[in-house]
Amino acid sequence: MEFLIGLAIALIVTSYLAYNRASLRVFTLAFTAMLFIGYIYNFVGTFAWIVFVAVALPLNVRSLRQQLISSKLLKAFQKIMPEMSDTEKDALNAGTTWFEAELFKGDPNWDKLHKFPQPRLTLEEQEFLDGPVEEVCRLCDDWETTHEIADLSPEVWQYLKDNKFFAMIIKKQYGGLEFSAYAQSRVLQKLSGVSIVLASTVGVPNSLGPGELLQHYGTKEQQDHYLPRLATGEEIPCFALTSPEAGSDAGAIPDFGIVCKGEFDGKEVLGMRLTWNKRYITLAPIATILGLAFKLYDPDNLIGEESDLGITCALIPTDIEGVVTGRRHFPLNVPFQNGPTQGENIFVPLDFIIGGSDMAGQGWRMLVECLSVGRAITLPSNAAGGTKQVALATGAYSHIRRQFKLPIGKMEGVEEALGRIGGNAYLMDAVTTMSTGAVDLGEKPSVVSAICKYHLTEKMRSCIIDAMDIHGGKGVCMGPANYLARGYQGAPIAITVEGANILTRNMIIYGQGAIRCHPYVLAELEAAANPNFEQAVEDFDQAVFGHVGFTISNMIRSVWFSLSAAHFVKAPFKDKTHRYYQIMTRFSSNLALISDLSMASLGGDLKRRERISARLGDVLSYLYLTSATLKRFNDEGRIKEDEALMMWAVEDSLYKCEKAMLELTQNFPNRLLGKLFKLLVLPFGTSMKKPSDVLDHKVAMIIQTPSASRDRLGKGQYLNQTNGSVTGQLEATLINIIKAEKVIDKINKATGKRHAIINLDQLADTALANGYISTEEAELLVVTEKQRKAVINVDDFETMDLIANQEKHQANLPEKNKIKAA
């Protein structure tokens, strides 16, 4: 009995120390004390002391530990360590980690999250949004852009150049705007609500491209020459990476350059002969300066001892003879300037390399470092802005449009879809705000940027599909009055570019996250790669024993959180969010534990088990999305009216987070280990639920009813009600419909009948003649009826207006119809 009591005490003390992540020294002292007490009370004999000393001595004496344990573990680790290409190493080393690393530790510091400053616009940035951005939104006619001229109008192009829209990232010393990442995000959100072509055209030069690369890596001569021209729009940039043979696998580009001597501008110089064939290059058809990625070779060792220098980036003026641009791709009826470019055996000087000849072979590192920033801004912001606009428009339409004498927004099936749209819009704005805030703090968050790119573009696609379902025929019939169709058509573009989403989810998020965010894995890999074995053992010893303690701690924490449902975990607030923080802490510990066990059991094979990697990445991602949502709610003052939006976003994310863990345990390659994982993290099965019908209803009501909460949801979007903006007129109609409903209620009471919201102009005449309403109320009904019909009507066209090749159409007509058609 005494032995069992002693064992129970030992287990409790061990668990307590592991839960609180005590050091090895503290563990040793605690066991020494317990053994001493047991020895005094005759629970413990000499043999137990011998065993304890035999174990504790080599663990606590570093030299012994390294010689007897760590050196052997290092050799074993080096044998199973997965091989990494140079491009993979560059990608892993690019950028920084931020709050996502906290989520990987198993014990997130929520106070740290809420102490990050809330991003804010400067006066200059706000004036730009209220002035030039508002004006270019007014100038841009998306139907003209996408259907009639397949381009932005000359007036819009000139306005963009004159107002330095392409210079948001360029420093003021070169004539640029030098806006914050947060300001860039707000600009793109507003533009994307008006036109995808407009947002893409502005977004690309301010993301990964010549401007960004020049500022970070260019020579002073290159910066002084190009950046002022880029700022004024005198030069239009593009960046060419993708080729027919290399898309997501950008490291496999076949485009090449050979270092050699040649003639340029009448002089013999040291340069390179370039051959390339690129496609999908945004702005290439109109670019004046081409940023080019290629593999550079120096077979005659003219600039160094290596002949294979690697991926290199150069700036090529497109007016050089032999540079081919001008032709266009036609991406899903969203005709932003995008097309192929080719060049064959074109000689240019070595100083065309960005950064000069010293940066030869450094192109891939340059690209992934810049991508870790740009990918957190452009596509996520476009997706968030588009979704916010869709939320407002669909909410308004759902209240205006009637079926069965009810607003369609009151139908439960529609409410469900509206809940998804509104909740996701709130979350997406929260994520872009928090992530661009990280960039403005000096971070280059490569893992966060991948999370943002994947999840926000996927959510955008889901929301636009929901919106199309709600609008029905209104969304299907294209024309100037259709504010959804181009977004619906173009959604796959965002899914595809800057790393296809399948690749991003299955390989990048967790592939980078597991190594960069884990507190010990990167140190272990670096130690294993160190050719100095003595130093490698020293570094590996520190990392691997820290890793072991980390794993034990997360195992104890996961088991305890599972048994207690994490009810005893501290949380920063005592309101409705209290429980969310507790659950997130539990899931964070679960993620850390399952990650370690997966890496230990699968080793290098985890790299090839993409669906396991994807689900682990999903857990990390949803924890990050939830963190951003809770931070937004707190930063905005924990407003009661916004609770439903916050709760929907959090509960949806936590439900999907737990679902990802469950699916991982069910599909783990070793079924026995999968069951063990489930026993550790989900012993009683799943507990999270999707947002309830009640929550869907609350969110649906918010986006259908003008209010301060709805205004915050759509903050910053273009909704001008006076200049023909389709969505602006939709907002005006919503306001008048709600006013008209009160007038109709008045008529209903007077007549004892229930009047449908249809033919309101006729109803106004009758009600006014009978004295039921005032002249002002009658005028309101007349105006509202005109607006209502404009909202529910769709465009129609003459046949010839829809035919792109009218000559071919005429040639194929029967003779008797040709005159009529003409």
DSSP, residue by residue, 47-112: HHHHHHHHHHHHHHSHHHHIIIIIHHHHHHHHHHSPP--HHHHHHHHSSB--HHHHHHTTS--HHH
Q: How many Cβ atoms from other residues are within 10 Å of residue 397's Cβ?
A: 26
Q: With the CA atoms of 136, 141, 142 and 148 taken in that order, what torsion angle do they form, in degrees rounded to the nearest 10?
A: -130
The rounded distance, in Å, linking the Cα atoms of 476 and 677 is: 47
Q: State the angle between helix axes of 412-440 and 181-192 in degrees (0 to 180), rounded to the nearest 10.
A: 150
The Cβ-side half-sphere exposure at 303, using a 13 Å CA radius, reads 23
Q: At 238, give phi and psi (nearest 5°).
A: -145, 165
Report whether 213 contacts 150 (CB < 8 A): no
The rounded distance, in Å, linking the Cα atoms of 226 and 246 is: 29
Q: Which helix (H) or strand (E) holds 461?
A: helix 446-471
Residue type, 760: L
The rounded distance, in Å, linking the Cα atoms of 752 and 746 is: 10
Closest alpha carbon to 490 in 464, 455, 454, 471: 464
The rounded distance, in Å, linking the Cα atoms of 181 and 165 is: 14
- How far CA 387 is from CA of 424, 425, 461, 774, in Å, comes to 8, 6, 9, 40
Q: Which helix (H) or strand (E) holds 501?
A: helix 501-503
In 668-805, which ranges are continuous DSSP H helix?
A: 671-681, 693-704, 708-713, 726-751, 760-769, 775-792
Give the single-character DSSP code of 117: P
Give me the residues paired with residue 273 across strands: 258, 347
Q: Which helix (H) or strand (E) holds 254?
A: none
The rounded distance, in Å, linking the Cα atoms of 821 and 809 is: 10
Residues 6 or more apart from 416 whose CB is under 8 A from it? 693, 696
Residues 6 or more apart from 456 whose CB is under 8 A from it? 379, 380, 383, 384, 428, 431, 432
Report whether 292 contacts 376 (CB < 8 A): no
Residue type, 44: V
Helix (H, G, I), strand (E, B) or coil at 32: helix
Q: How many helices (H) and strands (E) does the chain have?
A: 37, 8
**Secondary structure of the chain: what % helix, strand, coil (to 5)?**
65, 10, 25
Closest alpha carbon to 314 in 344, 273, 281: 273
- How far CA 47 is from CA of 35, 43, 58, 323, in Å, comes to 11, 12, 18, 82
Q: Of residues 102, 235, 443, 498, which has the active-site annotation? A: 498
498 flagged as catalytic: yes
Helix (H, G, I), strand (E, B) or coil at 1: coil
Exposed e or buried b per residue across 60-70, where buried means at least 16 C-beta atoms within 10 angstroms of its C-beta: eeeeebbeeeb
The tokens for 16 are 């307590």
* Chain-centre distance for alpha carbon 782: 45
**Which amino acids are annotated catalytic?**
498
